[in-house]
Every structure is written in structure tokens, then in C-alpha cells.
Structure 1
Amino acid sequence: MDEPEELPTLVATASHPPGDNPTCREHALSDLCRWSAFAGVAARTLVQPLDTIRARVMVSSRPLSVWQTIEQAGTVPHKQRTWRCTTLLRSLYRGYSISVLVQAPAVATYLTVYEKTKSALSQWTASYRAAQQQPPLDLSSASPWNHLFSGLAAESVSAVFWTPMEVLKQRAQVAASDADASLRVLTRRTWAEEGAHAFFRGYLLTIGVFGPYAMIYFVTYERLKRWWSSVLSRTGPLPSWSVLTSAAISGAVAAALTTPLDVLKTRLQTSRLLAGEHLSAWGLASQLVQRQGSRVLFRGLGPRILWVMPNTAITMTVFEYFKARAESRTAPIPPSEGAAQSNRCFTDR
């Protein structure tokens, strides 16, 4: 079976093949970034309540049900049993504003770095083979090593956006009241009490959580896509339903395997430390296991999987759809169509 087609290098060059329009490539890159951001925001809007439940379950000192977790946050007083839909939604969407502000550039950076790294590593392997040499490591587009390193690179770069978002978002999600969950209040309080470095607390741990997550996710995702290509006898873009299922399954697998790391990250980033205080991930893990047992590291496993599956499924389905459109826009124009056609963008729509 032929290998899946690589994402075109969406960069204009001084010289290019006949019919290969650099302007279209620039437009395709712009579209890819824009729709990657749109996919991330759309997914975040739908799954924010599940993420809030995940955070509250993970930081709880004892096992709680979903409804008990909402009540514990003070959104619905124990004496008040008339549950209002607006109150419940406001509670579950705490931290949404900071998520939306950061989600667009973070997701666009994440997916763009992944695709660019994947393409660069594949070209590196191809250069060895073109010279009839064996590369030190097979990093072709079909290699799991390519997907592993590309996922790690994407996470390492985009963590600059993710880490401050996670700190503020999770503190809002576990706040005792809506007033305490205000983005302005949280930002001022964190800055005044803990300093600027608090916004990047857990940066390395974020990479430690989502680095392995990204590697597991993309290796599984690319394997499933190749399997679908074989089953459906497709060499081009896959149907959206197959991308959706591949992304959801891959997200569930990666989320389950990295839950203990996510518990530590969530606890560390929601803790309030005074200037000069330090709490390591290892020290936190030791405290949790000693006080609550090893099962505490898997607390929130269900909500985490339920949050990740639709999030990744929506994001990747939208991304793959517009990636396919970007590839069609940058496809070389056949010479038979004439030089006069060389300045238009190719589309299949």
C-alpha cells in the first residue's frame, strides 16, 4: 500500500515547479492555522464542563460523584435543592474565558508544529535514501518514531501557551465561588501572592504529562489511520467518520495511560505556594500515595477520558478536513492547462 501523502511544505520559495503557486501555499498555511484554531475553540466549548468535572475530581481529598463535586465547589448550596440550569452551566464553564483566549493560538501552534516536524523528519530520511545511504533512524512519514518525535516537539513548543492557561483555568474550576473564579481576580491574586513564575508552574510537568500523551496519541492515531486506509483501500484523505473514530480511540488510550501524571499536574498547579516555597512532583506524589493510597493517582480517570475523546475527535476531524483542502489548493497545476492558469489556486470544492 502506498504511504499517505505528506502535507505540502506550505512555504513560498524563490523557485518552484511550474504550476506550483507560492501564493496559494501561503493562503493554505493561513487557512490551516485558522481552522486549527477554530477546531480547538469549538471542541473546548463543547467539552469544558467535562474538563471542569475532571479537575474537581482530581483535586478532591476524597472520592466524590459528579454531583457531589459540583456541590462541593459551592455552586449549589446544600440547603438549596432547586437546581437552576443557569447556575449549573455557569459553574461548569468556569475557566472558559481563559481557555478560549489561549486555545486558538495554542492549538494552531500545536498542530502546525506537528505537521511541520513530521514533514521535516520525513524529508531528512528521504535525503539519506536519495544519496543511497541508510539513515541512522527511520523517520519516514509512516514511521512511529516520526510520530513520536513530532508529537513531543508540538507539545514542547505549545506548552508556552498551555501552561498559563492550565494554571488559571484549573484554579477557576476548583474555586469556592464564582467571584473567586473571575479571571481578573485570579490573575491579580496569583501575581501578588506568588509572583510571575506561578503562571508557568508545572511547565516541565506539563510537557511531562502531555509529551507522553502526544507521543502515545499520535503513534496510535497514525496507526489507526493507516489501518483505515488499508481497510477502505484509500490512498487519499480518509472519510471524516474514520478520522473521528481514530482520534477518539487514540485520545482515550493516551488519556488513560497518562492519568497519574495529569493528577499530579492538576494538584501542583492548583496549589497556592508562597514566595520561596517549593513542591516537586515527586514530593507531591509521595504525599498523596502515603495519605490516600495509590488509587488516588487514577482519580478522575473516567472524566478525563470522557473529556479527551470528544475534544480530540472534534479537533482532528476539523483539522484533517481543512488539511485536505489545503493540499488540494497547493496541488501543482497540470502543464496542459497552460501558463495562464498558473496563478490561480487549485480546489476540488
Structure 2
Amino acid sequence: MASSSLLVSLVAGAAAGTSTDVVFFPIDTLKTRLQAAGGFFANGGYHGVYRGLGSAVVASAPSASLFFITYDSLKTYTRPFFRKYIKSNDELADMVTHMFSSSFGEIAACSVRVPAEVIKQRTQTHQSDTSWQTLSKLLKNENGEGIRRNLYRGWSTTIMREIPFTCIQFPLYEFLKKKWAFAESRDQVAPWQGAFCGSFAGGIAAAATTPLDVIKTRIMLSHKSVPIAQLARRIYVEEGAKVFFSGIGPRTMWISAGGAIFLGMYETVHSLLS
């Protein structure tokens, strides 16, 4: 992939990530508080919905850029490989390409996203007043687990959430764009059409992966590390199965509307720079 294409992906991804996080941050706060132990009002209710915005803004541009650089690069390099070995069906080969590329894109983005999520969610639930105070507490290592484990708490759960999410969202997003462009006898869709496809695909992926998002939130908010299976079992016994779908409304709305801005902004900036 040419350096100019990498630069386009970097800038487009940064613009997409930052704009989405700033616009829809209050909805994300409500979702986090719905999923946190103790319930919505015990964790702040409708007050201070912009708590933790600083960490989200700082991390949104680099994490989104990392995702799209990885995604666009792997998509370019691996499509010929998958088409070579899946000769009978180009659409299946493209779907596998998008799943593979987006999965590695999410893993790359999580290197920045996970520490920011930990700081953001703890600030959203009033464990401290600002993102800086939350970071300072984590760096003090009060629980004795180490700074790396504190900052990257929930890493594996986040990956477990992001890979199925992106394996639903991006193949569906690319499929819808391709079909829409074909129906209009064009090479590619307009940015607004890409935004609509991203919104639809994101909403479906968000709803399907809500239980994994609940577990991820609980792990990030816990004072000490806890095994995923043990936490899931405890939540089920103490709070019932319905709690795994806490925040499904705000999460689906946030990612569906956010997907329209995120992928719409990406398509717009990408088309302008290309």
C-alpha cells in the first residue's frame, strides 16, 4: 500500500473517530451507567454526561487511524490471496477479506482504545472527577496488580467483543455499499450512502454483541482483575440473564448513529483526499 494511501487512511480515520466520540459521548455515558454494577442512578444517572470526554478525545484519533491503516492495508494485500484460494465465489472471498482485515484492525486499535476506555468508564461512573484524576489513581497502583494490568484491564474481553462486532459490521457494510453501487451502475457509492450502510450494519452488530459489552464494562470498572467466566457466572446468579442486555438501546442507537458519522466522515475525507 502506497504511503499516500496510508496517509489518507490515517487522516480520514482520525477525523471519523474524533467527530463520532465528541458528538455521541453523552449516549455512551448513559450506556456505561446502565451496565455498571449498582444500576443507572447509583453511577450518576443523567448528571455529568461529559465526564471522561478528555480520555476519549485524546485516544479517538490514534485508535481510529490505527484501525483504518491496518484495515485498508490488509484489505489491499489479502484480497488477491483469498480470491486465489476461494475461486468459486468472489463475494465469499471479499467477505472473508473484510472479516480478516477488520479483525486485525480492531486488535491494532485496542492498543490505544483499551487504556482510554478504562479511564473513560471509571470517570463516567464517578469513581473520580476527571480523566486525569483517574489516570493518576491507576498509575499509583493501589491494588498492587501493576500499571500495565490496571491500564489494560479488559483487554481480552474487549478483543472478544470487537472481533465478532467487526466481523458482522464491516462485511455487511462493504456488501451493502457494493450492492448499492451496482444498482446505480457506479463504481462506488456517495459518502452519504456509505454513512447509511455503516449505520445499518453498526446497529445490527451493536445489538448482537451487547452481552460481551456488559462483561467488558464490569471488568474495566472492577477494582481488581477477575476471570471472565467467573464474572459472567456471578452476574447471572446475582442479577439474572436480562442484565446482559443492559444498555442495548443506547448502545445500538449510539453505534448506529455513530456509525453513520464515523463511516460517513471516513468516506467523505477519503474521497476528498483521494
TM-score, normalising length from structure 2? 0.91
Task: Give the corresponding residue for 2:104.
Answer: 153
Once the two structures are TM-superposed, the CA of residue 35 in structure 1 deviates from its matched residue by 2.7
Paired residue secondary structure (2:186): coil
- C-alpha separation in 1, matches of 2:15 and 2:115: 20
Task: Give the corresponding residue for 2:234.
Answer: 287
- C-alpha separation in 1, matches of 2:57 and 2:90: 34
Root-mean-square deviation over aligned CA pairs: 2.2
Task: Give the corresponding residue for 2:28.
Answer: 51
- C-alpha separation in 2, matches of 1:188 and 1:174: 16
| Aligned CA distance change for structure 1 residues 141 and 186 (closer, same or farther; 3 Å) | same
- C-alpha separation in 2, matches of 1:297 and 1:106: 27
Match among 196, 200, 207 for residue 152 of structure 2: 200
The question of whether the paired residues in 2 share the 8 Å contact of 1:125 and 1:140 is answered with no
- C-alpha separation in 2, matches of 1:213 and 1:204: 14
| Aligned CA distance change for structure 1 residues 139 and 102 (closer, same or farther; 3 Å) | farther
- C-alpha separation in 2, matches of 1:75 and 1:216: 31
| Aligned CA distance change for structure 1 residues 142 and 291 (closer, same or farther; 3 Å) | same
- The equivalences for 1:206-245 within 5 A come to 206-235=158-187, 237-245=188-196
Match among 213, 216, 220 for residue 262 of structure 1: 213
Task: Give the corresponding residue for 1:36.
Answer: 13
Once structures 1 and 2 are overlaid, which stretch shifts more, 141-150 or 216-225? 141-150
Match among 112, 129, 148 for residue 181 of structure 1: 129
Paired residue secondary structure (1:92): coil
- Where does structure 1 lack aligned partners over 5 or more consecutive residues? 1-8, 12-25, 63-68, 77-87, 129-133, 328-349
- C-alpha separation in 2, matches of 1:125 and 1:305: 32
Once the two structures are TM-superposed, the CA of residue 61 in structure 1 deviates from its matched residue by 3.1
Once the two structures are TM-superposed, the CA of residue 320 in structure 1 deviates from its matched residue by 1.4
- C-alpha separation in 1, matches of 2:18 and 2:62: 10
Task: Give the corresponding residue for 2:42.
Answer: 72
Once the two structures are TM-superposed, the CA of residue 310 in structure 1 deviates from its matched residue by 1.9
The question of whether the paired residues in 2 share the 8 Å contact of 1:35 and 1:319 is answered with yes
- C-alpha separation in 1, matches of 2:86 and 2:249: 42
Task: Give the corresponding residue for 1:66.
Answer: none
Once the two structures are TM-superposed, the CA of residue 125 in structure 1 deviates from its matched residue by 4.2
- Where does structure 2 lack aligned partners over 5 or more consecutive residues? none
The question of whether the paired residues in 2 share the 8 Å contact of 1:139 and 1:145 is answered with no
The question of whether the paired residues in 2 share the 8 Å contact of 1:140 and 1:146 is answered with no
Paired residue type of 1:188: S
| Aligned CA distance change for structure 1 residues 238 and 136 (closer, same or farther; 3 Å) | closer
| Aligned CA distance change for structure 1 residues 121 and 139 (closer, same or farther; 3 Å) | farther
Match among 2, 15, 38 for residue 10 of structure 1: 2
- C-alpha separation in 1, matches of 2:2 and 2:249: 39
Structure with the larger helix share: 2
Matched, 1:121 2:78: yes
Matched, 1:103 2:60: yes
| Aligned CA distance change for structure 1 residues 74 and 266 (closer, same or farther; 3 Å) | closer
- C-alpha separation in 1, matches of 2:230 and 2:121: 21
Paired residue type of 1:190: L
Match among 222, 240, 244 for residue 271 of structure 1: 222
- C-alpha separation in 2, matches of 1:111 and 1:205: 21
Paired residue type of 2:152: F
Paired residue secondary structure (2:202): helix
| Aligned CA distance change for structure 1 residues 238 and 155 (closer, same or farther; 3 Å) | same
Once the two structures are TM-superposed, the CA of residue 295 in structure 1 deviates from its matched residue by 0.7
Once the two structures are TM-superposed, the CA of residue 154 in structure 1 deviates from its matched residue by 0.4
The question of whether the paired residues in 2 share the 8 Å contact of 1:122 and 1:140 is answered with no
Paired residue type of 1:269: M
TM-score, normalising length from structure 1? 0.72
The question of whether the paired residues in 2 share the 8 Å contact of 1:39 and 1:315 is answered with yes
Aligned residues: 270
**Structure having the higher Rg:** 1
Once the two structures are TM-superposed, the CA of residue 265 in structure 1 deviates from its matched residue by 0.2
The question of whether the paired residues in 2 share the 8 Å contact of 1:94 and 1:172 is answered with yes
Once the two structures are TM-superposed, the CA of residue 75 in structure 1 deviates from its matched residue by 7.3
Paired residue secondary structure (2:38): coil
Once the two structures are TM-superposed, the CA of residue 72 in structure 1 deviates from its matched residue by 3.4
Once the two structures are TM-superposed, the CA of residue 191 in structure 1 deviates from its matched residue by 2.3
The question of whether the paired residues in 2 share the 8 Å contact of 1:123 and 1:140 is answered with no
Task: Give the corresponding residue for 2:251.
Answer: 304
Task: Give the corresponding residue for 1:248.
Answer: 199
Paired residue type of 1:102: A
| Aligned CA distance change for structure 1 residues 186 and 228 (closer, same or farther; 3 Å) | same
